[in-house]
A and B are shown apart, each in its own frame.
Chain A
Amino acid sequence: MNRSLACLALALTALLAVVRISDAQPAPFDMSGERPPEPPAPPPLVFPDLSRPPVPQDRTSAPQRHAPAPSDATPRPAADAREQDRSRRYLVPASDLALAGEYDRRSWSIYLTEEQAASPAKLNLQYQNAIVVAPEASLLTVSINEREIVRQRISSPNGPNGLVVDVPPNVLHPGGNLVEFRATQRHRTDCDIRSTYDLWTNVDPSQTFLEFAGIPTPAPSVTEAVRAVGGDANGNTEFQFLVPAAGQAGPTKSLLRLAQGLSLLSGMPNQLFSFHSDRLGALGPGKFGVIIGTVAELQPVFPALPPSAGSAAIAALVKDPNSDEQVLLLTGPSWNAIGAAVETIVAPTDRLPEIRRDVIATQRWAAPDAPLLFGGEKLSFSQLGLKTTEFSGRRFRTSFTIAVPSDFYASAYGEASLLIDAAFAANVRPGSHLDVYVNGNVATNLPITSDNGGLFRHLPIRMTLRHFKPGLNTVSLEAILLTDEDDACIPGSTASTEPRFALFDSSEFNMPRFARIGRNPNLEALSGAAFPYSRRTDPIMLWMDRFDANTLAATSTFLSRLAFVGGHPIAVEPVASAGAIGNRDALFAGSISQIPSTVLSQVNIAPESVATWRVAGAPVRNEDTMATFEKWRTQVRGSIWRDQIARFQEWLNRNFNISLSSLQLLPQPEQIFRPSSNDTFILAQGQSTDGNGSWTVISARNPEELREGTEALSRQQNWQQVAGRITTYEGKTQKVASLTASRFTFLQTVSPSLGNYRLIAANWLSNNILFYSLALVALAVLLGLSTAALLSSFGRNR
């Protein structure tokens, strides 16, 4: 019932949009500066169906729910739908948005062009919530630029519920616009902590968008257009390249550089690149077309080239006659000239590796940008994007994001501190606590022990840095508040708005100075900050199995991701043969069968997997074997003695996180990795043969899986899980798994200083526990001996 109503509403809005568009004057191209005159309108062309949809099956189905799929039978309605689609700006930069618990808040920014910001807009929102959410006490608000646009009781338990509201004028402005979703939810009946985990509101990204009135006017410049690209209904951002010359090695360098530049400009979390040789796929919100090639190459597929293209490089936004969409045209008499045109777009994103970033750009999916901490910083919660909050429920959770550099090496010993400014009311019982999580792992907790309420003023809590990794880290604070009222749980008591807890934004996060040294292999540093490639001034060697669309897409997607986390485009030098690489840094992309076996052995992948994985795959790895073994060990009753030892081990492990393996003196040799048949994609890192270079391999059984794997792994939520020395992806289950590195080499990243070496030693010794004891014992023995020598040569002796 609801659903059909929603469809009806949508159909109506779609109709309205069409009417308005027809009323509006079609906006001409904005001709600025160096851009060529408007190309003559191309003849309408009808294309046959693409053999393969441009995006995976599950994603394409989504937009069809609200808009009829463009059908090839009647071009006109298809154009309408596209028009309607084009006036949308999807808000959520992810495939889902779940607001969970009693209090949840997400904010990010969307980039709007001047024209978008100026035009009247409506906000469409659709969500569904858990049935236990009490509508009278639960509230969903959506704000844009701190202006509340939607404020609604959460009451859509039976199915998705949509609403459309006008965005008041002057709320939107050109450039970044801060969007905030906030949910306050209370349970209908229960008052315990556990019940708060049942509270959720799911916002449907495909039905949550800004809709601008009128035909969207083209962006005034290429940069503006790329920045405003946004995401599609699934939160993806796709750059489609029409490259007739694809398949040749020559243009690769320019293509990869352009891809990285576009990635950096758009700043979107889930980007992917696709390459086409004859025509572009369907475009729309979150999809950006690029047509690139020499005049000669483009002539057959894009006849409407500006005349000047034959003599000079062109980088301009033009209307693609095929799709009627604005696309980026890069052409010139030769690829050298095109390279120059690419530079006009990409050059502004260049940054010298020596120049330190102070933030890592995350604002397109989590505002504000994550500050990049190098040690010694003090940041107040307000700087981290948190606001002073009063809270009347029982479980309060809030998060912020900070980033640490790729050479962060303090996870074993380091401790940061939080200076908490908070208050809790007298009815909050002792036994309540404030927990701090880092990337989902408990880092510390602060018990509340007072009976009479309390006020913390810059109360220091030390938190371990164990769960920090290079790149982005999410720190969450969770207050668990126990009260007698909740124990009694009188009906309606959950709706109480009397604050129990307050967290003030004057609280601070203090990052101490920490050890900094790079390691290889270390995929966390690669995924966090493109280490070590982002620090190189020389281009890194790129070896590609072949230059087909899939491999090119995979390489572009992967490199753009690296450029994005690294903060600047990474110079690459495609090489034809692996032998030419020597010991330099290199990236290898291709099917497993084509990867040189020396490279495989350097990244500890079994060379025979070339054959086994391709055919049937190694037997499925049973990752739970160890767990099952452990479980059985506890089931088997041993001798009392063995029992005691086991119990002691368990106690040590539980309380101090010490196990027998942490007491080994020499690191275990790396296990040779054999991909299982479930794995569809491998990302692996190792050292070059002499240990000086860092080699990264992306590989799969075939080019399709390579592209799909790269696309999947590059999505923000998966990319965050890239770690260790090998990360694998299972296409079927969409599972990401990692193998930790036990041996690695160190790479000097900062100028040598005693202070840094000291901290590095602290971390290394904290990882290699026994060495510390040994060193301490050895030095103490030496001290004893030298003291004996000293004492016998000083003072009186017999």
Chain B
Amino acid sequence: MRKVQSIILWAVITVCVIGLITLPVNLQTQLIASTTVVSLMAIIKILKAGGVWRLIALAFGTAIVLRYVYWRTTETLPPVNQPENFIPGLLLYLAEMYSVMMLALSLFIVAMPMASRPSRVTARKLYPSVDVFVPSYNEDVTLLTNTLAAAKAMDYPADKLTVWLLDDGGTLQKQNSPDVREAEAAIARNQILSTLCDKLEVNYLTRAHNQHAKAGNLNNGLKHSKGELVAVFDADHAPARDFLLETVGYFADDPKLFLVQTPHFFINPDPLERNLRTFDWMPSENEMFYGIIQRGLDKWNAAFFCGSAAVLSRRALETTEGFSGISITEDCETALALHSAGWNSVYVDKPLIAGLQPATFASFIGQRSRWAQGMMQILRFRFPLLKRGLSFPQRLCYMSSTLFWLFPFPRTIFLFAPLFYLLLDLQIFTASGGEFLAYTLAYMLVNLMMQNYLYGSFRWPWISELYEYVQTVHLLPAVISVMVNPRKPTFKVTAKDESVAVSRLSEISRPFFVIFAALAIALGITVYRVYTEPYKADVTLVVGGWNLLNLILAGCALGVVSERGEPSSSRRVKVRRRCEFGMGGTWHPASIEDVSVGGTRLQVFNRALSQSDLSAEAAIRFQPHGGGEPAMLPLVIRRVEPSGDATMLGCQYQPKGPLDHRWIADLIFANSAQWAEFQQSRRRNPGLLRGTIWFLGLSIYQTHRGLLYFLLGITRRRDGKPGGGNSQ
């Protein structure tokens, strides 16, 4: 009853709002109204008012956006009898309407996201049996060892926990490959991994054929196991000890639950973060998704499976005959199928795994192409809006998730639209300067403010635009190709363990320089035309300003595609942990300062070490997170730095066998709290103004760096040295 009342009330108010917004009031009224609303929104934002004020601020923003849409629709389209203006004008209009629609969908999703759920670690009483699947295709053995060791080390009754390595790199199909080299590699891999698994007490499973890629591999795992629950970790996603304790309990609460998803936390930067050096202090790209969007989806019971770091119910999976595999994003597709079959999902907003993400720009683009193409396939084959069994909010949620990947189209249009006017003198947007001020500027301000208000501490100003732009250049063809040939794309595993040794331009950087040059020329033309054609300087300035904005983004993108060389192959994670350092049979008190998958930095007390100790073998002893016997991990000293009465040591692990990887995993991955802390440390909202100024500075610097790399690349090539394009 209360529901019906609130729907009726909301509908009546909405009709009134729409009625008021679609009144054709004059420009003065609009100007005053937009000034008032923008000011009020700014006040709410500055006061950081939450709760119901959040929704009021969003309603303010919505009102201005709808005013813009009304005006844009009724007054600004070029006349149909001028096709040269009308067609690009309509495209631009559609691109803007797409943006507005996506804004509406995301408002719906994140208007009131679920609060973080309380920890379940201590509440556990029942322990259902769990199969842990680690699907692998071609990942490096060390990486797998760490992941498997971490999985094995999770806090859970040992008899209820079975870890499976699902190896698709050693299938019979591969072992019998006509390509001898591939066959030999597969056979070797099969053997090495089998041994490894034996030692780690993990089940090794492979299959005859590589059918249906990852989905097929997981289904094969399902066929051979029988635990009530299935946890899935990508080969490079190592779980923390409390992973199962935090997630499994939800299945007892809700018998119709099919999924508990947790965030993906990455310990290495993506190419943008690495090349722009923002990893340590700016929130990562995916934090917006895992920090707020999944929580929003969770409100509508629409949190979906992201391929890893999740627990699924076997009972649920059996109703849909396992994981779905029509698209190349089997994870989302599976979740869609189960949601539409009436199953529920839960999202736990706490990083419980640490993983790797693509390090080079090219593999980053490869990964995103897969996501975009997969989502397009879902849109095509499982059109969520009309999918039976989904609730209406779920339909909207899935539409939002899939339609998001159409962004390359509007992004391309926004990029080139100013050029239509600046280079071709076409009038694709008919409005006066005053109207631009009262409608467009207000709309843009409100848009930025809403974005900042919603995602402020997860996404800084202009970063979304930058990410979209750098992806657009290569994603546009990918999305078009999947639209033309929806069944063509195949699952490609993203390489994540690459590193960049030498500073160089990405091998797919050329289009960015071409676009940058075009926009820079357009900027020159703008200046020229402002002086030579003063009678239309106002329009030229507005369009030129827009082009300048594109140029700033494009300039920043030059920095993104200029790969910085990085000496260290893996990321260090700061930890503070007591240990004992042993060398030559004696043990000294020491502390672990930071760790990486390859080594650690120690501070050793009461023991003078000198350069002569380099390459000496040593070991550390420490108490593992899981308790029990102290762990001992062999090391080799690589660097010695005396500091006061202590000595800083750089050490490399020397694991004697797979079991030693348990201790490496314990050092790095066991403690999930450190990931959350690290994320929290980056979650600051610089605000719209400071964020914009910061971005402008960043862009100027990155433009300069990108152009420098470009010139260096040319000189190197001229000198006959291998330039851009070599990847190590």
Contact = CB atoms under 8 A, between A and B. Distances in A.
A546 interface: no
Nearest to A795: B299
B336 to A, nearest CB: 18
A654 to B, nearest CB: 11
Given A459-B79, A788-B112, A776 B20 contact: yes
Given A413-B25, A447-B536, A779 B36 contact: no
A786 B13 CA distance: 8
A675 B345 CA distance: 81
B299 A766 contact: no
Interface string A648-683: 000000011110001100000000000000000000
A780 B26 contact: no
Interface stretch (B27-35, B198-206, B692-700): B27-35
Given A787-B10, A791-B112, A792-B112, A766 B26 contact: yes
Contact of B52 (A431, A464, A657, A785): A785
B458 to A, nearest CB: 20
B23 A765 contact: yes
B531 to A, nearest CB: 13
Interface string B147-189: 0000000000000000000000000000000000000000000
A94 to B, nearest CB: 36
Contact of B29 (A430, A772, A797): A772
Contacts of A761: 23
Contacts of A772: 20, 23, 25, 29, 32-33
A118 interface: no
A779 B17 contact: yes
A462 B78 CA distance: 12
A481 to B, nearest CB: 14
A759 interface: yes
B62 interface: yes
A782 B13 contact: yes
Interface in B1-40: 2-3, 6-7, 9-10, 13-14, 16-17, 19-29, 31-33, 36-37, 40
Interface string B327-347: 000000000000000000000
Interface stretch (B53-61, B484-492, B563-571, B633-641): B53-61
B62 to A, nearest CB: 7
A776 B79 contact: no
B393 interface: yes
B310 to A, nearest CB: 18
Task: Name which of B13, B40, B62, B434 has the most chain A CB atoms within 10 A of its CB.
Answer: B13
B56 A785 contact: yes
B31 A656 contact: yes
Contact of A783 (B62, B393, B534): B62
A759 B19 CA distance: 11
A780 B56 contact: yes
A780 B37 contact: yes
A793 interface: yes
Given A457-B81, A765-B23, A777-B40, A430 B59 contact: no
* Interface-central residue, B3, B438, B535, by most chain A CB under 10 Å: B535
Given A658-B32, A773-B36, A766 B25 contact: yes
Given A447-B535, A776-B37, A798-B115, A787 B24 contact: no
Contact of A789 (B9, B19, B27): B9
A770 interface: yes
Contacts of A770: 32
Nearest to B74: A415
Interface in A664-710: none
A786 B15 CA distance: 13
Contacts of B23: 413, 758, 761-762, 765, 772
A191 B321 CA distance: 87
A194 B300 CA distance: 70
A776 B25 CA distance: 12
Contacts of B10: 783, 786-787, 789-790
A791 B24 contact: no
Contact of A796 (B24, B81, B299): B299
B287 interface: no
Contacts, number: 160
Contact of A785 (B55, B425, B438): B55
B114 interface: yes
B63 interface: yes
Interface string B649-681: 000000000000000000000000000000000
A415 B21 CA distance: 17
Contacts of A462: 75
Contact of A773 (B16, B22, B32, B298): B32
Contacts of B22: 758
A54 B308 CA distance: 104
A782 B10 CA distance: 9
Contacts of A787: 10, 55, 58-59, 111
A784 interface: yes
Nearest to A759: B24
Interface string A403-439: 0000000001111000000000000001100000000
Contact of B14 (A762, A766, A783, A792): A783
Contacts of A786: 6, 9-10, 13
Nearest to A466: B26
B18 to A, nearest CB: 10
A779 B14 CA distance: 9
A131 interface: no
A794 B58 contact: no
A431 to B, nearest CB: 4
Contacts of A791: 55, 111-112, 299
A780 B81 contact: no
B32 to A, nearest CB: 5
Given A430-B533, A779-B13, A796-B298, A788 B32 contact: no
A616 interface: no
Contacts of A20: none
Contacts of B533: 430, 449
Nearest to A482: B535
A431 B28 contact: no
Interface string A693-731: 000000000000000000000000000000000000000
Given A783-B13, A788-B55, A795 B24 contact: no
A385 B425 CA distance: 35
Interface in A437-479: 447, 449-450, 457-460, 462, 464
Contacts of B26: 412-413, 464, 766
B600 interface: no
B391 to A, nearest CB: 9
B107 to A, nearest CB: 10
Interface string B678-719: 000000000000000000000000000000000000000000
Given A413-B24, A457-B81, A766-B28, A773 B33 contact: yes
B301 interface: yes
A550 to B, nearest CB: 46
Nearest to A775: B20
Contact of B57 (A430, A458, A784): A784
- Which 9 A-B pairs rank lowest in CB-CB distance, beginning with the nearest? A784-B56, A784-B59, A762-B23, A784-B55, A783-B59, A780-B59, A766-B26, A773-B36, A431-B535
Interface of B: 2-3, 6-7, 9-10, 13-14, 16-17, 19-29, 31-33, 36-37, 40, 51-53, 55-60, 62-63, 75, 79, 81-82, 111-112, 114-115, 298-301, 393, 425, 434, 438, 533-536
Given A656-B31, A780-B37, 8 more contacts: A431-B534, A450-B425, A762-B24, A777-B36, A777-B60, A784-B52, A784-B58, A790-B7
8 contacts: A413-B24, A450-B425, A655-B434, A777-B40, A783-B63, A791-B112, A796-B114, A796-B298
Interface of A: 412-415, 430-431, 447, 449-450, 457-460, 462, 464, 655-658, 662-663, 758-759, 761-762, 765-766, 769-770, 772-773, 775-777, 779-798
